[in-house]
Amino acid sequence: MHFTINGQSYDAEPDIRTSVLDLCREHLGLTGSKKGCDHGQCGACTVLINGRRVNSCLTLAVMHQDDEITTIEGIGQPGNLHALQDAFVRHDGYQCGYCTPGQICSAVGMLDEVKKGWASHASGDLTDPKFDDAEISERMSGNLCRCAAYPNIVDAIREVGGAEPAGRTADEKDAAMEANARGELVA
């Protein structure tokens, strides 16, 4: 079988049952995409196929021989980070980092969906969706973070996507994080 991943050509002969995720990780050495649940529930395996975000664990490699697959390795590299990767680093949008490649691939696809004018469940008017924190949370609900870095993930995506900040100011957030670090629970 022949595949195009991150603009590069690959030939491989995986078992017919092989998912796009296992093709990348086990056959081609592209281990950036992560296997969390392997059932489309966690989003850690998210890649872009022809520019659209999908769960790579839930689709067969054999069905994507004519497609352009983009994994986190094709989004950016050390020294040449994608704007979202850079923002995740600066906003501390992770703790253990396992979900991060999926979060970033998903956010790349999601911001493109926003650009196309696609609405979401959080949109009041489907013909004129606003882009705010509620939209980011709804649109990213297919990516779980067991470390619960969600507030910082939203911060990173908001910065790159140009959404209006909601709720606390940056100073208030810093104060809340410091309070949390002291062991004081801040809602």
Shortest Cβ 44–other proteins spacing (Å):
11
Task: Select 93 or 109, whichever has its Cβ closest to other proteins.
Answer: 109
Chain residues in the site for other proteins (CB under 8 A): 15-17, 19, 38-40, 43, 46, 52-55, 58-60, 62-63, 106, 109-110, 113, 116-121, 123, 126-127, 137-143
Q: By C-beta, is 73 or 135 nearer to other proteins? A: 135
Q: Measured from the CB atom, is 5 or 136 closer to other proteins? A: 136
State both tokens at 108: 């790349």
Site of tokens 């050495």? 29
Closest separation in Å from C-beta 80 to other proteins:
26
CB of 165 to other proteins, least distance (A): 20
Q: Identify whether the C-beta of residue 34 lies closer than 8 Å to the C-beta of residue 41.
A: no
92: left (phi over 0), alpha (psi -120 to 50) or beta: left
CB of 154 to other proteins, least distance (A): 13
Residue 49: strand pairing partners: 52, 69
Task: Residue 153: name the closest of 89, 60, 110 by CA.
Answer: 89
Q: What token pair was written down for 56? A: 């790579």
Scan for tokens 């050509």, then name that residue: 9
Query: By C-beta, is 54 or 104 nearer to other proteins?
Result: 54
Q: Closer to other proteins at the Cβ: 122 or 177?
A: 122
For residue 26, what is the DSSP state? I
Beta bridge partners, 69, equal 5, 49
Strand order in the sheet with 8-11: 8-11, 2-5, 68-70, 46-49, 52-55
Q: Residue with structure tokens 């998903």?
A: 106
Residue 138 or 164: the one with the smaller Cβ distance to other proteins is 138
Rounded to a whole number of angstroms, the minimum distance from the CB of residue 84 to other proteins is 15
Q: Minimum distance from CB of 10 to other proteins (Å)?
A: 19
